[in-house]
């Protein structure tokens, strides 16, 4: 009879248990054992489930083989995320990858220019991390070895490219002015030379590195074009080519630099020190020294330093940075808490259940690092074209200038033609066709309040068809508010709200603040409350104008003997809608109820309509909140689907599943818990004004305000920008082809070649600058109209929300 056995993955696969390649190796090796029918690894629970036939193989044999394979993988296969420095261009990623992959024993190397990280997998018995780091450093880039802290860049390091671009532009401007004013040609050429030297320094470094890596990139192409222009006396052209390319590199550098600080900001969520409690003595120690089983004291207002279980105390804990839960959760003895959560009201004693490196927060950091590093930037068409085109043209020019004159004679006729070929063959218009349009689009987006962190993300936005949204803080405000007040008996709704607010005015709970805010919005005058007492998780009691009032949850009032029968229907209705129910009683008599909920952003419905208008076919909500709350929000916005109760790693899984099913996926979020999903999505978008720094830095695109309607406008802008890029590329290729063919066949005067070359570049620039007007973008963004058919959200594994029950029993506020 076939039997099933569950083994512990951490014991079996000691290192790299989160690596899919090692998981695959372990699974494939076990399936080779006679009698093993299946081997499935669940990374979420860190377990290995084996199905085997005991008549063919003993359990001990299978377990021993699993441990041997795991030990072998752990001893030979190593995985590292290596921080990099000095990557000033997207081509740097390809250079480093190619160089590292040449090392014997390196199995894979993927580099992210935007994240400045390298994920490398290697055989530790054949190559060391020091050798890998040494190879990276030999190319002129920085790389941190194991245990080394990342260096904080100086002001010069952060702005060196912009400074060199500025100096280049200034020298170029002076040269043009001097030429128009009739200055000596030597002085004019000196200005152009200064412009080239200032702008080409970092370009030359990249070109040298590309030659060392046997890859001719855009740096090499532009530098060779400038040298060729100077060789035939066209100093102004050489200076202009270098300045424009340097300017584009500067803009891209600034849009990606902020992303590189995301990991540091993530780690800052956990406090550096924790208050360790041992034998009645309290001592502040580094959080990394907290071991499993240690007890720490967490004071009100402090962040939890470790994952653990509450052993003493009670408090409301804000877990939204980790789980996405919209409301603070009451925690008491035996409840689980997470590092990075915020303790709000009371002191807690927490026993650590995980080491610092294994906390949920550390896991989020790892997910973000890996997802960003694995997302290598897409290679531009012009760069791919240049890898083939540039060596070919150089070879043709050499043949034309050196070989042909030796065979056919007439050196003075063929050598100048080869120089002209270098000038007209340099695809300047082609190379700047993409960055000019992208720079214009990024500038236009910035004026719209949208920060797009590089051309790759602008390009990807144009092909999006699926959008996924976080709920709390993204589609909703993230702050509780009173949605409805119902009175029972002789009391009015305003009297119920005033009594509740008078009691809650002395409480620090977020729901209490929402009740007080609702009373002030309605112009109610609060009365002094006496004898105030509060019980965490139950509610608050006070005497107002001689009348005792109890404000609390359904369970607390029911446990106090209050008759809840008048509110039974309304309680069930509100709970189905995902609203928090707050009851108000006077003595043992229920006088009213309040529905508290996270409010949908006012602009969210229109944003959803506009997204559909610009071509987004499916819109999904991913949230850590409860199913009922998620269903209510999804229904009110007309979403196609929602997935509730998701942890950060599960959000990543959901994004990956959407990508497999629909292709490119847009993810919009604002919290720390959204950071891994933002990094895993094709394009991650963070809410700027309300989003946390980590979500903002991790994302590829940031909305600098709470206005979600700017997102569909950015998508429309992306599509227009990519249409202009295609126009520019087609036009530039046609011009280059015409000039090259003319030079090779009938010959072309240098002046005509320069005129055609510069004219095409000018037209490409002007076409790209059309994006700055934004007229068409505004028109496309305003196409959205109310949907004629309401969307009914689907919950994977849950219920379909299709019904709005009527109000029962009681009087509601208008």
List, by residue number, the catalytic residues.
470
Q: How many angstroms separate the CA atoms of 790 and 792, rounded?
A: 6
Give me the sign of the Cα torsion angle 220, 223, 226, 230: negative
Which residues have a Cβ under 8 Å from the Cβ of 324 and sit 6 or more positions away? Answer: 470, 471, 472, 623, 624, 625, 646, 671, 673, 674
State both tokens at 10: 């951490």
State both tokens at 172: 């170029």
Which residues have a Cβ under 8 Å from the Cβ of 315 and sit 6 or more positions away? Answer: 300, 330, 331, 343, 344, 345, 346, 347, 348, 536
Residue written as token pair 């009371």: 346
Contact status, residue 222 vs residue 175, Cβ threshold 8 Å: no
State both tokens at 745: 């066949």
Rg, C-alpha atoms of the chain: 32
Q: How many angstroms separate the CA atoms of 329 and 319, rounded?
A: 7
Which residues have a Cβ under 8 Å from the Cβ of 391 and sit 6 or more positions away? Answer: 216
Q: How many angstroms separate the CA atoms of 122 and 109, rounded?
A: 9
Coil, helix or strand for 125?
A: coil
Neighbouring CB atoms inside 10 A of 247's CB total: 21
- Dihedral pair phi/psi, residue 33, rounded to 5°: -75, 125
Distances (CA, A) of 110 to 78, 95, 106, 280, 677: 14, 11, 11, 50, 19
Q: How many angstroms separate the CA atoms of 379 and 7, rounded?
A: 43
Q: How many angstroms separate the CA atoms of 439 and 787, rounded?
A: 35
Q: How many angstroms separate the CA atoms of 560 and 587, rounded?
A: 10
Cα torsion through 437, 443, 447, 453, rounded to 10:
100
Q: What is the DSSP letter of 718?
A: H
Q: What is the DSSP letter of 33?
A: S
Q: How many angstroms separate the CA atoms of 615 and 629, rounded?
A: 28
Q: How many angstroms separate the CA atoms of 397 and 275, rounded?
A: 72
State both tokens at 665: 């996926």
Contact status, residue 171 vs residue 239, Cβ threshold 8 Å: yes
Q: Which of 263, 206, 228 is nearest to 698 (CA)?
A: 263
Reported in sequence order, the residue ranges of 56-210 that DSSP labels E, i.e. its strands, are 77-85, 106-112, 117-123, 142-143
DSSP string, 734-781: HHHHHHHHHHHHT---HHHHHHHHHHHHHHHHHHHHGGGT-HHHHHHH
Q: What is the DSSP letter of 663?
A: S
Greatest Cα pair distance, the chain, in angstroms, is 115
Helices 750-769 & 411-425 angle (0-180, nearest 10): 0
The number of angstroms, rounded, from the C-alpha of 348 to the middle of its chain's C-alpha atoms is 33
Q: How many angstroms separate the CA atoms of 579 and 628, rounded?
A: 8
Q: Which of 238, 225, 219 is nearest to 422 (CA)?
A: 225
Residue written as token pair 């070989």: 403
Distances (CA, A) of 252 to 197, 249, 276, 316, 442: 21, 5, 46, 44, 10
Q: How many angstroms separate the CA atoms of 359 and 161, rounded?
A: 39
């Amino acid at each position: 009879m076939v039997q099933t056995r569950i083994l512990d993955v951490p014991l079996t696969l000691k290192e790299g248990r989160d690596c899919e390649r090692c998981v695959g190796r372990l699974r494939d090796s076990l399936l080779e054992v006679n009698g093993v029918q299946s081997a499935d690894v669940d990374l979420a629970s860190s377990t290995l489930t084996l199905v085997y036939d005991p008549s063919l193989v003993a359990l001990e044999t299978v377990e021993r083989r699993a441990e041997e394979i795991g030990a072998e993988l752990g001893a030979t296969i190593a995985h590292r995320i290596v921080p990099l420095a000095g990557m000033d261009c997207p081509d740097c990623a390809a250079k480093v990858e190619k160089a590292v992959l040449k090392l014997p024993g390196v199995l894979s190397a993927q580099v992210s220019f935007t994240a400045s990280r390298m994920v490398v997998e290697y055989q530790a018995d054949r190559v060391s991390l020091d050798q890998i780091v040494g190879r990276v450093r030999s190319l002129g880039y920085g790389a941190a070895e194991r245990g080394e802290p990342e260096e904080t860049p100086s002001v010069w390091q952060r702005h060196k490219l912009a400074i060199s671009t500025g100096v280049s532009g200034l020298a170029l401007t002076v040269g043009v002015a001097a030429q128009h004013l009739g200055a000596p040609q030597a002085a004019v050429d000196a200005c152009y030379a200064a412009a080239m030297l200032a702008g080409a320094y970092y370009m030359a470094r990249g070109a040298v590195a590309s030659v060392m890596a046997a890859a001719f990139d855009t740096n090499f192409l532009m530098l060779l074009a400038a040298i060729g222009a100077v060789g035939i006396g066209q100093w102004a052209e050489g200076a202009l080519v270098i300045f424009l390319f340097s300017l584009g590199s500067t803009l891209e550098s600034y849009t990606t630099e902020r992303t590189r600080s995301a990991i540091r900001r993530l780690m800052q969520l956990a406090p550096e020190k924790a208050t360790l409690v041992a034998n009645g003595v309290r001592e502040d120690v580094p959080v990394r020294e907290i071991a499993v089983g240690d007890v720490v004291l967490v004071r009100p207002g402090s962040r939890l330093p470790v994952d653990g279980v509450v052993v003493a105390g009670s408090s409301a804990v804000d877990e939204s940075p980790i789980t996405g839960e919209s409301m603070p959760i009451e925690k008491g003895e035996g409840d689980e808490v997470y590092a990075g959560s915020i303790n709000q009201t009371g002191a807690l004693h927490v026993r650590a259940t995980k080491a610092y490196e294994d906390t949920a927060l550390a896991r989020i950091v790892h997910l973000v690092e890996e997802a960003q590093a694995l997302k290598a930037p897409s290679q531009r068409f012009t760069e791919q074209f240049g890898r083939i085109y540039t060596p070919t043209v150089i070879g043709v020019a050499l043949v034309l200038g050196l070989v042909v004159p030796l065979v056919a004679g007439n050196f003075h006729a063929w050598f100048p033609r080869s120089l002209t070929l270098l000038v007209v063959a340099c695809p300047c218009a082609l190379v700047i066709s993409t960055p000019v349009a992208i720079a214009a689009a990024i500038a236009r987006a910035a004026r719209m309040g949208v920060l797009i962190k590089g051309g790759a993300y602008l390009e990807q936005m144009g092909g999006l068809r699926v959008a996924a949204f976080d709920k709390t803080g993204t589609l909703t405000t993230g702050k509780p508010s009173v949605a409805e007040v119902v009175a029972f008996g002789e009391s009015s709704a305003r009297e119920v709200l005033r009594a509740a607010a008078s009691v809650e005015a002395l409480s620090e709970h977020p729901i209490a603040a929402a009740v007080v805010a609702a009373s002030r919005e309605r112009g109610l005058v609060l009365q002094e409350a006496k004898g105030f007492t509060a019980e965490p998780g139950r509610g608050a009691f006070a005497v107002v104008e001689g009348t005792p009032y109890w404000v609390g949850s359904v369970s607390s009032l029911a446990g106090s003997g209050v008759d809840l029968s008048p509110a039974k229907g309304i309680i069930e209705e509100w709970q189905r809608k995902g609203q928090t129910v707050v009851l108000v009683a006077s003595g043992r008599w229920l006088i009213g109820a309040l529905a508290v909920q996270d409010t949908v952003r006012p602009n969210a419905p229109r944003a959803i309509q506009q997204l559909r208008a610009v071509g987004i076919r499916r819109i999904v909500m991913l949230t850590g909140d409860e199913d009922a709350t998620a269903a209510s929000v999804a229904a009110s916005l007309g979403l196609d689907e929602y997935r509730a109760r998701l942890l950060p790693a599960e959000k990543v899984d959901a994004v990956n599943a959407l990508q497999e099913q629909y292709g490119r996926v847009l993810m919009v979020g604002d919290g720390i818990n959204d950071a891994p999903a933002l990094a895993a999505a094709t394009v991650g978008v963070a809410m700027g004004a309300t989003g946390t720094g980590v979500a903002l830095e991790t994302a590829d695109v940031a909305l600098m305000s709470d206005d979600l309607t700017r997102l569909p406008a950015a998508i429309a802008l992306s599509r227009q920008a990519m249409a202009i890029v295609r126009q520019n590329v087609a036009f530039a290729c046609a011009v280059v082809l015409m000039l090259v063919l003319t030079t090779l066949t009938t010959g072309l005067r240098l002046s005509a070649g320069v005129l055609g070359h510069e004219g095409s570049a000018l037209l490409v620039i002007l076409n790209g600058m059309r994006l700055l007007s934004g007229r068409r973008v505004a028109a496309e963004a305003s196409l959205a109209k109310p949907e004629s058919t309401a969307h009914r959200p689907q919950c994977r594994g849950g219920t379909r929300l299709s019904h709005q029950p009527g109000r029962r029993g009681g009087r509601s506020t208008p």
